[in-house]
Amino acid sequence: MPTVLVTGASRGIGLEFVRQYAADGWRVLACVRSPQRATDLQQLAEQSAGQVTVHALDVEDHASIDALATALSAEPIDVLINSAGTMGAGSFAREGRAFGKFGNSDFADWERVYRINVIGPMKMAEAFVGHVARSSQKKIVTLTSILGSIGRNSIGGLYAYRASKAAVNAVMRSMSIDLASAQGIAATTMHPGWVRTDMGGPRADIDVVTSVSGMRRVIDGLTTENAGRFWMYDGSKLPW
């Protein structure tokens, strides 16, 4: 039975990853900041006959990451999915382009966005690289955003979020080179699409089922040869 670890598993895209992988017979390590508040995830775990286990994890807290890596030290992890992310204070879904505009920067919030969106995936990869290397599939995936594409930015704005996603793209590109040669691990970024979640809002293009189903197909076909690209959920590629 293959194993997947998913961060940000309490809702939205992360929760749908848990649901779909469990339905396909995978063992799922579902990681959330506050397990007691993740009622939908807890219900899913209770109905999974042990396939889904819920683990406390705060990607901002490196001690929390290290503690979980130690607790799971005997576990090979076939696919590590860094799904946890934030746009920061405020909401693009509610505010539109007024959110994150020039002149309104909250630099304390910038720092938190970077801790979660950039440093978090890097720390997760370093803490769990041994678990992934011991598995059969050996894959690390970080969810990014089309808003991190410099080549596709034609409207400006959303400074902190755009910058964090461009940064994590660079992190994962380097990781794809280093880990492929050293440990045979395929590492990549993936844009889930504009998805109808709390972050994406009700007017977004696609639902979580469509997004996650598409990303899982890309993950299934991921190799060290095609890793390190800026994938769309539908298998197409984005410009950096």
Q: State how far the Cα of 167 lies from the Cα of 5, in Å rounded to an integer.
A: 23
Rounded to whole angstroms, how far apart are CA atoms 61 and 67?
A: 10
pLDDT of residue 92: 65
Q: What is the pLDDT of residue 111?
A: 97
Phi, psi dihedrals of residue 50, rounded to the nearest 5°: 90, -5
Residues in the chain predicted with pLDDT less than 70, given as ranges, are 91-98
**Domains of the chain, residue spans:** 3-232
Question: Per-residue pLDDT tens for 154-207?
Answer: 999 999 999 999 999 999 999 999 999 999 999 999 999 988 887 777 877 889
Q: What is the reported pTM?
A: 0.95
> What is the chain's percent helix, strand, coil content, to nearest 5?
45, 15, 40
Instruction: Specify the residue for token string 């370093």.
Output: 126
The fold for domain 3-232 equals Rossmann fold (3.40.50)
pLDDT, residue 169, reads 98
Distance (Å, whole) CA 217 – CA 47: 25
Q: Which residues, 6+ apart, have CB-to-CB distance to 129 below 8 Å?
A: 140, 179, 183, 185
User: What would you measure as the largest C-alpha separation in the chain, in angstroms?
Assistant: 52
